[in-house]
Amino acid sequence: MKDFSSLQGAGARLARRVADEARATAHARRAGLLVLDSPARTIATMRALERLGQLGGAVAVAAIRHGERVGLVDERGALTFAQLNARSDAFACALRARGVREGTGVGILCRNHRGFLDATFGAARVGARVLYLNTDFAGPQLRDVCEREGVALLIHDEEYSELVGGFEPRHGRLIAWTDGETDGDTVERLLAAHAGQVPPAPRERASVVLLTSGTTGTPKGAPRHQGHSLVPVGALLSKVPYRAGESTYVAAPMFHGLGFTQMILAVMLGSTTITRRRFAAESVLEAIARERPTGLVVVPVMLQRIVSVLESEPGRCDTGSLRIVFCSGSQLEAELVRRARRVLGEVLYNFYGTTEVAYATFATPEDLRDAPGCAGRVPFGAVVRLYDEDGRVVAGPGRVGRIFVGNGFQFDGYTGGGSKEEIGGLMSTGDVGHFDAHGRLFIDGRDDDMIVSGGENLFPGEVEELLLTHPAVEETAVIGVEDAEFGARLSAFVVVRGGASLSEEEVREFVRENLARYKVPRDVTFLSELPRTPTGNVLKRELRQRYAAA
């Protein structure tokens, strides 16, 4: 009987997978991702995917189907999909000439521009292990991550040359973007030297490592291997009406999961990716009025700044081309949703997921109209369940629990070991939340001390550990506080050693020199002692009360 029940369960799971793939295929066809094509193009497409995998073959397929269509617009102009594909081939040949092979660690420290795409698709065609680095990292943090993740070749923008100066990878460094002449090896020079060359097919598929942070605050590598399922894309397309052959302005940084996946999706759809190296609300709005994209990808703090410009200068920029404003990365507050609807219309979509669990929920404009600030509903192919601290299911509208997700596409564990907590095959997101009576999920906060500021994860403990290494700091505690612009920010409380002196700016500068800029405490308060329990633990609730009363 037990064996029969197991067979029944396996059969049911297989039936669900088949049904999910069928639904995903239908949504992919509706979006234009899958089309009936000529036999020659169909064969060429299948060969490209077989040779290069999904990531390496994405631009190749776009070139086969949409060769003369513009694939990218950046500050240097436009490139067609055919040009992007040729550049990917040439760069892959250049990497092989430098000794890069399957599994070689390639680090990418780039802003949003053509060099990011060259590095991504070229490295994928070699079968490399591609690591995306946060452009806000401080030097010590950057070197630590590169050494831990085994980066053998570093591709970076020239502006980071001084930052990476102390790191000498085995295969050297390449400059992806420069505003002037430089003596170093550049991506553009290598592209010219290997123009017209085609690399051999890699023996192994490339893998992608996006950096996230665990409960300790140390950046962790979360690897993603190329799959063969359409369900993740189909789930998104079932909620967000992207269509082939349109255009998307990707404002979110591409080293981040949001910007990266949305750029890849645009390539897969044969849609134009529009981007700039630096975000400024005014320049984004000017580009929207000029380029007329149908989609815009932002984190909430970007959306807030765009909305503020539109509110302060009504009619300045025409945003009528936008059908989709895709937002993710941190909590999307209800008031910002209301403001965005007033100036942009019914075009806002909110996505909730993490690097570890992939996707969880999507909120449509209808969801956000009826329940501003919600994270949306669970799409097909996914399960979202709430558990209490004892691992028991929390059910019922309004009941708060820890959020666990299952979709078959969770990551396999951090590169340095360990993983997220799992219950019954579902993986923790690290958040707590609740459902309403209509099945919409709301995020109520973190289940640890982590806060999210402007789309970036902040951990008070990491800043505390650093400050304690300062010779003038006796003890310190860092808490998260609300911030009207970024959602949250860090506030530091510092006890100075006897006889020493320290200013607020010196505290901020010390953090700025050693950690990413978004981890610098905005507020610094000096105390004679920290409030503690009898056992020595800092009473952070008292610090929050002091902050609120100040």
Residues 480/503, Cβ–Cβ less than 8 Å: no
Q: Which domain holds residue 138?
A: 38-228
Q: What is the mean pLDDT of residues 187-212?
A: 94
What band does 540 get if pLDDT is binned at 50, 70 and 90?
A: confident
Backbone angles phi, psi at 430, to 5 degrees: 85, 0
Query: What percentage of the chain has pLDDT greater than the value 90?
Result: 68
Of 260 and 139, which is predicted with more confidence?
A: 260
pLDDT reported for residue 375: 96
Average pLDDT over residues 400-411: 90
Mean per-residue pLDDT of the chain: 91
Q: What CATH number is given to the structural domain containing 82?
A: 3.40.50.980
534 confidence band (pLDDT: 50, 70, 90)? very low
What mean pLDDT comes out for the span 193-198?
A: 97
Q: What is the pLDDT of residue 156?
A: 97
Q: Among 179, 194, 228, which residue terminates a domain? A: 228
Q: Stretch 64-86: mean pLDDT, rounded? A: 97
* Whether the predicted pLDDT of 251 surpasses 90: yes
Q: Is the pLDDT of residue 3 over 80?
A: no
* 29 burial via Cβ count (<10 Å: 0-12, 13-18, 19+): middle
**How confident is the model over 39-53, as pLDDT tens digits?**
999 999 999 999 999
User: Domain with 520 in it: what CATH number?
Assistant: 3.30.300.30
CA-closest candidate to residue 486, choices 530, 517, 525, 527: 517
455 secondary structure, DSSP code: T
pLDDT at 457 > cutoff 70: no
Which residues, 6 or more positions from 309, have their beta carbon under 8 angstroms from its beta carbon? 281, 282, 285, 316, 317
Per-residue buried b or exposed e for 39-59, using 16+ beta carbons within 10 Å of the residue's own CB: eeeeebbeebbeebbbbbbbb
Residue 299 has pLDDT above 80, yes or no: yes
> pLDDT category, 315, cuts 50, 70, 90?
confident
Residues 6+ apart with CB under 8 A from 351: 236, 258, 326, 327, 328, 359, 361, 362, 363, 376
Percentage of the residues of the chain whose pLDDT score is greater than 70: 95
In a domain, 115, yes or no: yes
Is position 525 within any domain? yes
**Does pLDDT of 282 surpass 70?**
yes
pLDDT band at 33; cut points 50, 70, 90: very high
Q: Is residue 352 part of a domain?
A: no
- Find the mean pLDDT for residues 24-52: 92
**1 pLDDT higher than 60:** no
Mean pLDDT of 362-382: 96
Q: Which of 173, 198, 228 is the last residue of a domain?
A: 228
- Per-residue pLDDT, averaged over 290-310, amounts to 93
DSSP 1-25: -HHHHHHHHHHHHHHHHHHHHHHHH
Inside any domain, residue 275: no
Residue 297 is encoded by which pair of tokens? Answer: 């990808």
- Confidence grade of residue 9 (pLDDT, cut at 50, 70, 90): low
Selected residue with higher pLDDT from 334 and 57: 57
- Position 238 in a domain: no
Give the per-residue pLDDT at 2. 53
Number of domains in the chain: 2
Q: Is position 30 within any domain?
A: no
pLDDT of residue 417: 86
Contact criterion met (CB below 8 Å) for 447 and 432: yes
For residue 213, pLDDT beyond 80: no
From residue 133, alpha-carbon distances to 308, 465, 519 in Å are: 30, 22, 16
- Its pTM stands at 0.85
Q: What is the pLDDT, as a whole number, of residue 36?
A: 83
Question: What pLDDT score was predicted for residue 482?
Answer: 87
Query: What is the per-residue pLDDT for 183?
Result: 80
Q: Is the C-alpha dihedral spanning 34, 36, 37, 39 positive or negative?
A: positive
**Which positions ≥6 away from 549 have C-beta within 8 Å?**
none
The pairing of strands 151-156 and 105-109 is parallel
Longest dimension (CA), the chain: 81
Residue 50 and residue 66 in contact, taking contact as beta carbons nearer than 8 Å: no
What is the mean pLDDT of the segment spanning 381-408?
Answer: 93
Residue, of 213 and 125, whose pLDDT is higher = 125
pLDDT value of position 14:
81
> What's the DSSP call for residue 261?
H
Domain end residue (candidates: 159, 193, 228)? 228
- Domain-located, residue 24: no
- Of 427, 428, 429, 425, the C-alpha closest to 9 is 425
Q: Residue 87 falls within a domain, yes or no?
A: yes
| pLDDT attached to residue 246 | 98
